Chain A
């Protein structure tokens, strides 16, 4: 029995500004965004083909928004906004804010960092860069704010920041260019792996406070936490294969900060917590983890296999949708509550995009010192 419903015609998704489409042939398209280009094969009607062709040409007058929305929603990749809506089944009310030194509307980034008691890092001195008013305006419905719509905008800002600021690619490329002895390379690789070890080792501690705020999403969060258990052991095995133990390695303040923020979110803002989980759980999309690739490049195959196993477990968990799933329990929220979550997300993104930049600086300084000492 098949149910054809009128629901499928509702427009619920709009493409991000950066998203475009190109053809390979009549049924194969490439969807482009700065953070991802994905090839897609689609068996569909002429009507859908016409809309996709119009979207590829950016001929907006010929696009059927309902068909485009349906296409984007089925891709289920970070290519689109989710329009605000109200669901009578999302009944959990979340509105309590922590005692802040100043109203959330006037809170500067510096004040929020102080409130969170963050360590000094590369992300220290900056102003708010995310247009919070635009996020609020987009997600507004019935004089309140839809958490899922808000997530879809925040996710785009996070991905744009990762694309612009994150130094992971440069860090890995830099390591590959070094002509230094194996021990020095091994220590650098171990330092990179250690950041991930710290994140996984702190994971349960950092997630647990959110259980008290999770209301009817409790069992989903609990299941998610169960799925994340034991990942630190894989990373520890990788460190062991690199013949290092955690206590001798450098830990970036940004790595410390991201786990500190996650832990504090769990006791201050369940919306902020869900947005943070979305950042942590964004899939790499690649078959092989980039760090696995780097470890293989230097023939550390055992450590590489540990990293790849971690990636496979995370991919199999399908956790890229966990935040929307948790937020499906949340009722519309008020302005201050939404704004506080947006602000926290920006600070977290600053720190997340600083981890590899910090390591790159460290490695370059080490190399300079070594060269000077010769």
Chain B
């Protein structure tokens, strides 16, 4: 039986790419929306891949999210604004939309 593995080149590329630097997304956002900027009600952010993949549902296919900060907030809430996602794409940002799949593996009937 063939072993499931990953190729050495990918590991090398991954190591090299990782050397480009780590990013603390949550820390960055906190800095940007700290008390000094509490007056900001709404922002558009291009978010980091890791953050994006952990926060956004698959069917919301863009990098644009709304960040709303209440006047008296000690912290901030991230809100996915699907209207903004689908209708607006500011200059300099990439808009991607995906359609239904052309092919996918059929899943066993064991969904939660």
List B contacts of A17 (CB < 8 A): 6-7, 10
A148 vs B52: C-alpha distance in the bound complex, in angstroms?
13
A41 vs B95: C-alpha distance in the bound complex, in angstroms?
8
B87 interface residue (CB < 8 Å to A):
no
Q: Say whether, besides A7-B48, A82-B53, A352 and B10 are in contact (CB < 8 Å).
A: no
Q: Is the CB of A2 within 8 A of B90?
A: yes
- Interface size for B (C-beta < 8 A) is 65
Q: Is the CB of B17 within 8 A of A74?
A: no
Q: Is the CB of B107 within 8 A of A282?
A: yes
Among B5, B54, B98, B109, which residue has its beta carbon within 8 angstroms of that of A39?
B98
List A contacts of B95 (CB < 8 A): 42-44
Binary contact readout A189-216 vs B (1 if CB under 8 angstroms, 0 otherwise): 0001101100110010000000000000
Q: Say whether, besides A41-B96, A74-B96, A84 and B106 are in contact (CB < 8 Å).
A: no
A38 vs B106: C-alpha distance in the bound complex, in angstroms?
15
A253 interface residue (CB < 8 Å to B):
no
Nearest chain A CB to B61's CB is how many angstroms away?
Answer: 7
A222 interface residue (CB < 8 Å to B):
no
Binary contact readout B1-27 vs A (1 if CB under 8 angstroms, 0 otherwise): 111111100110110011011111111
Kindly identify, within residues 17 to 72 of chain B, every residue whose CB is under 8 Å from any CB belonging to chain A: 17-18, 20-28, 32, 40, 43-46, 48-50, 52-63
A371 interface residue (CB < 8 Å to B):
no
Q: Is the CB of B4 within 8 A of A74?
A: no
Nearest chain B CB to A324's CB is how many angstroms away?
Answer: 4
Q: Is the CB of A14 within 8 A of B3?
A: no
Q: Say whether, besides A83-B14, A138-B11, A73 and B96 are in contact (CB < 8 Å).
A: no
List A contacts of B5 (CB < 8 A): 131, 134
Among A5, A69, A280, A355, which residue has its beta carbon within 8 angstroms of that of B49?
A69
Q: Is the CB of B10 within 8 A of A286?
A: no
Kindly identify, within residues 28 to 67 of chain A, every residue whose CB is under 8 Å from any CB belonging to chain B: 30, 34-45, 48, 65-66
Name the segment of A95-103, A152-160, A240-248, A362-370 touching the other chain. A152-160
A121 interface residue (CB < 8 Å to B):
no
Q: Say whether, besides A195-B109, A196-B110, A282-B107, A40 and B102 are in contact (CB < 8 Å).
A: no
A144 interface residue (CB < 8 Å to B):
no
A350 vs B99: C-alpha distance in the bound complex, in angstroms?
31
List B contacts of A193 (CB < 8 A): 109
Nearest chain B CB to A211's CB is how many angstroms away?
Answer: 16
Q: From B37, which residue of chain A is reached at the shortest CB distance?
A: A1
Among B7, B22, B53, B108, which residue has its beta carbon within 8 angstroms of that of A356?
B108
A-B contact pairs, 6 of them (CB 8 A): A7-B23, A38-B101, A39-B98, A70-B94, A85-B18, A318-B58
Besides the contacts A84-B18, A285-B100, A321-B57, what 13 more A-B pairs have beta carbons closer than 8 Å?
A3-B43, A5-B45, A12-B50, A40-B98, A40-B99, A41-B98, A81-B14, A82-B50, A82-B53, A138-B11, A148-B50, A199-B112, A318-B56
